Structure 1
Amino acid sequence: MEILEETDLCFPQLLNSSCRKPIRPHFETMLIYILLSFISLLTAALNLLVIISISHFKQLQTPTNLLLLSLAVSDFFVGLFMFFQIMLIDGCWFLGDLMCTLYNVLDYIITSASVGTMVLISVDRYVAICDPLHYSTKITVRGVALCTCLCWVCSVLYNSLMMKANLKQPGRYNSCIGQCVIVIDHVAGLVDLFLSFIGPVIVIIVLYMRVFVVAVSQARAIRSHIAAVTIQCSVKVTAKKSELKAAGTLGVVIVVFLLCLCPYFCVTLTGQDTLLDASSAAFVICLFYFNSCLNPLIYTFFYPWFRKSVRLIVTLQILKPDSCKISIL
């Protein structure tokens, strides 16, 4: 009979019922600890800057930026919840069954809200590029705020309903003490996979393919100066350039989003998660969470207004009276 050492158990005092820690080199464990901790802190800090920027400066409170605000809120919570994922590196959960269930439910809610926000961003860019004359009437700050709130409310209701069995009896599927497991019905899991990933990805790809085709044709028209005849036309061309630039930037955000989340959902789709070793599983999870850190970095690279607002925040100039009216754009 194999004799378990106390260091191999999550709860050494519960020899017969405690979960065992996974076998992993100490160097690899420490590397994952450091990497996830750094990503967690950076993700929370950068997205907090985005939240403060858009919430504080009135000039930034446009329909598109409200969607970025929603995305930043979800990414900020991802950064905070990443600390819970760090706890699971050793394969042990020490916060109890109820906290385990709540953590997973909130994680699902945030992920669903992020995906929903990405769909709304695609719709926003589709209208801005493909129907620019009616953009200001179709896409308003109030309308975007309402759609964003509905996205979050639907995400909460949907995931709470899907996790109802786990919420009623937390820890019901744990096989040992120190485990954090939730189980979703097979049919419900397939429905969730379609609603939370496959369906939204199809919508995003179709909309952005259309945006790309129209954007290319408009870019050619701008370069050939077909529309630049009068001052009025020149203003329209400038407006088109700004919309095209925004579409390109948000296109990068969406592509990065898909690249980071596809490995995780593909594993779920194929059901091959049991075939992954500890290192591969850790990489997929790190990539999944790292997406939330990349979005503010993309804004830093592409958006001058974000760099300017960060300088104002870091230098505490936002504490001055009427700082919310400072020209950022």
Structure 2
Amino acid sequence: MSWDSYSVSRQLITEPTYLGTNTNFGFKNRSLKDNCVSCLGEAMVTPEYVTFYVCAILVVIITVFGNLLVIMSVCHFRQLHTPTNVLILSLAVADFMVGLFVMPLGFIWMIEACWFFGVSMCAFLNFFAFQLTTASVHNVALIAVDRYLALSNPFLYTKQITVRLTIIVALLTWVFSVGYNFSLLYCNGFFTTSLTLCPNECPVAVSEAWSWVDFVVVFALPCSIMFVLYLKIFAIARRHANAIRAANSQGNPNAKQNDNVPKRSERKAAKVLGILVFVFLLCVVPYYIASVMAEFINSHIFEDILNYTSLILYLNSLFNPIIYALFYPWFQKSMKLILTCRICTTDSSLMQVK
């Protein structure tokens, strides 16, 4: 049994050794011209084997139920119906679907070192993983945009950035993601040719031109937006802190309280969401660096690194609800209300959770 077994990463048709950019649940890429690998033989149930499955089950359960709690909290409590929380809800939906649909199949594939589920499930896994990766990256980029607008121009943000507008933007992001990934897979023969050359594999081939488009759309552009906007957000937060210190030194605490309390709450939200973005980048960037390095350096070392960075990429769906639980008091309170079934009482949606 080996962790560095197979991959559903996007591969070049013209360059079979290419390591694709937007992974599904990827481990070692295999050439489309490689010989088929047999999965026949008895699987030995060892302590290592059992440990892998126990860990996989725990990760799936925490990912699914953690993100489900976030979804229920934002949808149920009216106090949480804010533009920022709409984007958090959209991200939680993507993470929930990763835990529900992608992780179980991917973990079984990793542990068994073989694809048992046939062509239809291969198509299902590929499309959902491509789609959810794109949706997650773009939702996190939208969160960075939201925080920048809230801090750079609070008056404009309050007046023009409404819940309805944010819902429309979030829905358009999902529509774009579905359309983009359908186009990518269709143009590379995913729906018109056989999905697997071998019954125990699940490869996807992507042309060189599409691979660069995918790299820009799914990684370079949204991550650049996050990086630039959070640099500006930190500069704005520092400027606000200097203004507060200046007000204190002038002995006018009342003016500081009246003028800067909303800004202070916005800065706190930006700080927490900054942690979310930072953790997201820590999970995403290593995979793409390994992917690019593996393209130019044909070495099993980079393939092995790609295997583990792929795993970290999808574990981000596990980390997000943990971040909410650690840093958001509203999530802690709403989680207690949900788990104790107090949301079943009359007018529970009007409860104060902030």
Q: If the TM-score is normalised by the length of the shorter chain, which range does it land in? A: 0.7 to 0.9
Contact 2:90 2:139 in 1 (8 A): yes
Distance 1:214-1:24 versus aligned 2 partners, 3 A rule:
farther
Matching residue of 1:132 = 154
Change (3 A) 1:238 1:91: same
Higher helix share: 1
Report the more deviating stretch, 285-294 or 314-323. 285-294
The answer on 1:52 being equivalent to 2:77 is no
RMSD between aligned residues:
2.5
Deviation string, structure 1 residues 32-79 (Cα, Å, up to 9, x no partner): 333222111111110000000000000001000011000100011111
* Equivalent in the alignment of 2:247: 225
Distance between the aligned counterparts of 2:350 and 2:162, measured in 1?
20
Q: 2:278 aligns with which of 243, 255, 261?
A: 255
2:152 and 2:190 mapped to 1: Cα distance? Answer: 44
Q: Does 1:241 align with 2:264?
A: yes
Say if 2:226 is the partner of 1:204: yes
1:184: how far off? 1.0
| 1:304 matched residue in structure 2 | 329
Out of 38, 45, 53, which is 1:19 matched to?
A: 38
1:32 pairs with 2:52: yes
Aligned equivalent of 2:349: 324
Decide which moves more: 119-128 or 129-138: 129-138
Question: Quick check: 2:151–2:236 contact (8 Å CA) kept in 1?
Answer: yes
Encode CA deviations 1:131-170: one digit per residue, 9 max, x unaligned: 1121112311111101000000000000001011112234
Q: How many residues align?
A: 312
Task: Indicate which of 203, 207, 212 corresponds to 1:185.
Answer: 207
Aligned counterparts of 1:319 and 1:108: Cα–Cα separation in 2: 37
Question: How many angstroms apart in 2 are the aligned matches of 1:282 and 1:18?
Answer: 18
Structure 1 residues without counterparts, runs of 5 or longer: 1-15
Question: Which digits, 9 at most, give the CA deviation of each residue in 1:165-202, with x for residues without a partner?
Answer: 1122342xx33211111111111011101110011111
Question: How far, CA to CA, are the matches of 2:348 and 2:318 in structure 1?
Answer: 27
Any unmatched runs of 5+ in structure 2? Answer: 1-34
Q: Distance in 2 between matches of 1:206 and 1:217?
A: 17
Q: Which has the higher contact order (CA 8 A, sep 6+)?
A: 2
More displaced 10-residue stretch of structure 1: 301-310 or 24-33: 24-33
Would the aligned equivalents of 1:55 and 1:61 in 2 still touch at CA under 8 Å? Answer: yes
Q: C-alpha separation between the residues in 2 aligned to 1:300 and 1:199?
A: 29
Query: 1:269 matched to which residue of 2?
Result: 292
Q: Distance in 2 between matches of 1:73 and 1:166?
A: 26
Tell me if structure 2 keeps the 8 A contact 1:59–1:325: yes
Provide the identity percentage: 36
1:79 counterpart (99, 102, 115):
99
Q: Distance in 1 between matches of 2:278 and 2:67?
A: 19
The secondary structure found in structure 2 opposite 1:217 is helix
In 2, distance between residues paired with 1:119 and 1:260? 14
Contact 1:43 1:292 in 2 (8 A): yes
Of residues 311-320 and 33-42 in structure 1, the stretch that sits farther from structure 2 once superposed is 33-42
Q: Could you state the TM-score of these two structures normalised by the residue count of structure 2?
A: 0.82
Change (3 A) 1:232 1:277: closer
Structure 1 residues 82-91 or 309-318, which shifts more? 82-91
Alpha-carbon offset, residue 101 of structure 1: 1.6
Comparing 128-137 with 224-233, greater Cα deviation is found at 224-233
Q: 1:289 aligns with which of 306, 314, 331?
A: 314
Q: Which amino acid aligns with 1:267?
A: A
CA contact (8 A) 2:247 2:253 kept: no
Q: Is the Cα–Cα contact under 8 Å of residues 101 and 170 in structure 1 kept in the other structure?
A: no
Query: Which of 78, 84, 96 lines up with 1:64 in the alignment?
Result: 84
The 3 A distance-change label for structure 1 pair 189 and 221 is same
TM-score in terms of structure 1 length: 0.88
| 2:124 paired with 1:102 | yes
Displacement of 1:224 after TM fit? 3.6
- Checking the alignment, whether the CA contact within 8 Å between 1:98 and 1:170 is kept in structure 2 is no
Q: Deviations along 1:17-43, whole A, 9 cap, x unmatched?
A: 663489999555444333222111111
CA distance in 2, matches of 1:34, 1:270: 32
| Conserved 8 A contact 1:36-1:286 | no
Q: Distance in 1 between matches of 2:211 and 2:234?
A: 33
Amino acid at match of 1:118: V
- Cα distance in structure 2, aligned partners of 1:302 and 1:235: 25
